Amino acid sequence: MDQAASSITSLRKLAQAEADCRRCPLYRDATQAVPGEGPGHATLMLVGEQPGDKEDLAGKPFVGPAGRVFDQALADAGIDRKATFVTGAVKHFKHEMRGKRRLHKRPNNYEIERCKIWLDEERRLVKPKAIIALGVTAARSLTGKTVTISKVRGRPLELADGAKLFITVHPAALLRIKDDADKREAYRQFVADIKSAAKSLR
């Protein structure tokens, strides 16, 4: 743990530290760091991969197309997004230029590891009882290893601090499914995963 990080006492100070982060090169091409968002003592934390194009510009997590799927799934699971803490495993947008468009690139293990300090700090400050990892990047940051989602989905894992970890797909994966019936079923499973995590808090 960096000395600077371990002395952080609020989410506001944490966001400032993330904005100043130079632990990996991703800050160079991003507009800004995107800190987590939500109440300081939320019982449920949802961790995505990294900011996308819209999140990078807005400075807020899950506001793009995947964010709309995410919001709908939370609503369908009976969860108020404002009561949850929403963040990303990586705080800066990693992308490549295709013409004028900025296309998302998945963070590598080095970038995930370098950014883990900030997710650890968010967890230390918020102290959620349940965490949902959305996709393999979030799962790697939270478990320290590469996981196959289909193998761990639906089975909560206990983290060292006592929080329960639920691993599911990233909502962006649902947007890539072409077949309507397959998409509906994948969405239904996604909502069920969120409900399972929420139920563990009761």
The mean per-residue pLDDT over the stretch 60-73 comes to 97
Chain CA centroid to CA 170, Å: 9
Share of the chain above pLDDT 90, in %: 96
With cut-offs at 50, 70 and 90, classify the pLDDT of residue 2: low
Split at pLDDT 50, 70, 90, the class of 30 is very high
Q: What does the pLDDT average to over 91-108?
A: 95
Mean pLDDT of the 172-191 span: 98
pLDDT greater than 70 at residue 60: yes
Task: State residue 7's pLDDT score.
Answer: 84
pLDDT of 3 higher than 50:
no
- pLDDT cut 70: percent of the chain above it: 97
The pLDDT assigned to 143 comes to 97
**Distance, CA of 104 to CA of 16 (rounded, Å):** 24
CA–CA distance, 91 with 6 (Å, rounded to integer) = 18
What's the CATH number for 3-33+41-199?
3.40.470.10
Cβ(117)–Cβ(23) below 8 Å? yes
Mean pLDDT over the full length of the chain:
96
